[in-house]
Amino acid sequence: MNRREFVGQVGMGVAALGSLKAKDAFGIGSRVLGANDRIRIGIIGAGDRGQEDLKSALRNPNVECVAVADVYSRRRDQVKAFVPNVVGYDDAMRLLERKDIDGVINATPQHLHSKYFLATLASGKDLYSEKTLAWDIPEAKACRDAAKASKQVVQIGMQDESSGEMWDARKWIAEGLPGKITMVESWISRNTKIGHGEWVRPVPEDCNPAHVNWDLFLSGRPKIPFDPYKFINWRLFWEFSGGNITENFVHQIGWIITAMGLDLPKAATMTGGVYSVKDGRQVPDTFQVGLEYPEDLLVVWQSTFSNRRYGLGEHFLGNKGTIEHVSGSNEMKTGQHITDDPRTNEENAWGPVNYYPEKINNPDGVAIKGETIGVNHMTNWLDCMRDRKQPNGTVEIAYRAAVACHMSNLAYKQKRRVTLEEAMAATPEEWM
């Protein structure tokens, strides 16, 4: 089977799975949860991020984890260490067959997001799925369409959608305080020890075929011999990941899309390369993205893994004022959302957001500091499982952010400006 045939068959399988109704796939549906009912959850993908998500969920009252699925036995054992009675599976489909699970956390590697996103909805369970929505645009479309057709509560792990800074910025933009915004500057900066690449993790001694279901990890990708380095460091390789674009940029472009009410970009450019450490990774570690939007707007994002001084943030540049949202630089203390309710305290809360008037067009304007308190993103999902309302991290915003991310990566791979129409028509080989 050549690459076109392989990717085409995977795409058809994803689309078919997305069209299933819950009762057709498993013969079950979600039970109606009362305000005091215990929520039973399972987790698929129990790596570092998945375990953080699970612990966040378990900090909420009346929440129990009954099952964990991961292709690596070490990770199942790690979950059992803090959830003693949890049942472990290497195959997530066995977890989804259970009728006693109300919601599922999907924290698998990115190339598996859509598979278990669609399978969870087909099983009639609510879903918390980590970003980015899917590995490419066709899979993102399938996930969006399945969510629209489903009655399930779906939260995407774009935690900044629940931040108070988001709500402040969106309010100021809607009120017209910054005026016409023609550019948004955004960035994220990190640093690692010289000679050690970002994201590179050590391979445990037990990471071998006896403890890893390699075929389930590949999940239809071309069959290759077991590679423990690729398994542990999947973020470094295109067949499993979109790199820093889909790990970090997705959060910030989602933030920008929501704040400004943007749809899809009309074109994307991306330049850069592997500049920090030559460690065999395929995805770039230093680059700049430019997204052109129909609203006469340019969104730029830059990232490096060789310097962390300026942390991360966004500048919304309008002719009547500037909205500044920054966090994590060396000379700033990252903001924390502190309330009387410990469930609202995010471990990685963003920093403050501020508005500054442009005196030439807004001489009477005054500076404003955002003070709205955000909510815990996981708690928002669990609350919505009870009241059946729409969570903050919507699938629609996640879809728009995913398209922007994948357009950017496609522009990088093809070393040219890529339009929305070209990205939508990209062949399976181009996504690989």
Taking only the tens place, the pLDDT of each residue in 133-186 is 999 999 999 999 999 999 999 999 999 999 999 999 999 999 999 999 999 999
Superfamily of domain 3-160+381-394: NAD(P)-binding Rossmann-like Domain (3.40.50.720)
Q: What is the DSSP string of 330-374?
A: TTSPPP----SSGGG--TT----EEEEE-TTT-TT---EE-----
Contact call for residues 172 and 355 (beta carbons, < 8 A) = yes
Pair 186, 299: CB distance under 8 Å: yes
* Tokens read off for 416: 């040219």
DSSP for 251-305? HHHHHHHHHHT----SEEEEEEES-S--SS-SS-SEEEEEEEETTTEEEEEEEES
Of the candidates 114, 145, 133, 113, the one whose C-alpha atom is nearest the C-alpha of residue 11 is 114
Least reliable range by pLDDT among 98-102, 248-252, 424-428: 424-428
- The fold of the 163-197+239-373+408-419 domain, in CATH, is Dihydrodipicolinate Reductase; domain 2 (3.30.360)
Specify the pairing of strand 181-189 against strand 267-273: unpaired
Q: Domain spans of the chain?
A: 3-160+381-394, 163-197+239-373+408-419
292-347 confidence digits (pLDDT tens): 999 899 999 999 999 999 999 999 999 999 999 988 654 433 333 333 333 334 44
Lowest mean pLDDT among 20-24, 80-84, 266-270: 20-24
Q: What's the token pair of residue 326?
A: 């920054």
Phi, psi angles (nearest 5°) of residue 278: -85, 85
DSSP conformational letter for 111: G
- Residue 387 sits at φ, ψ, to 5 deg, of -95, -5
One-letter amino acid for residue 352 of the chain: P
Give pTM, 2 decimals: 0.90
pLDDT at 200 > cutoff 70? yes
Mean pLDDT of 61-65: 97
Distance CA 142, CA 144 (A): 6
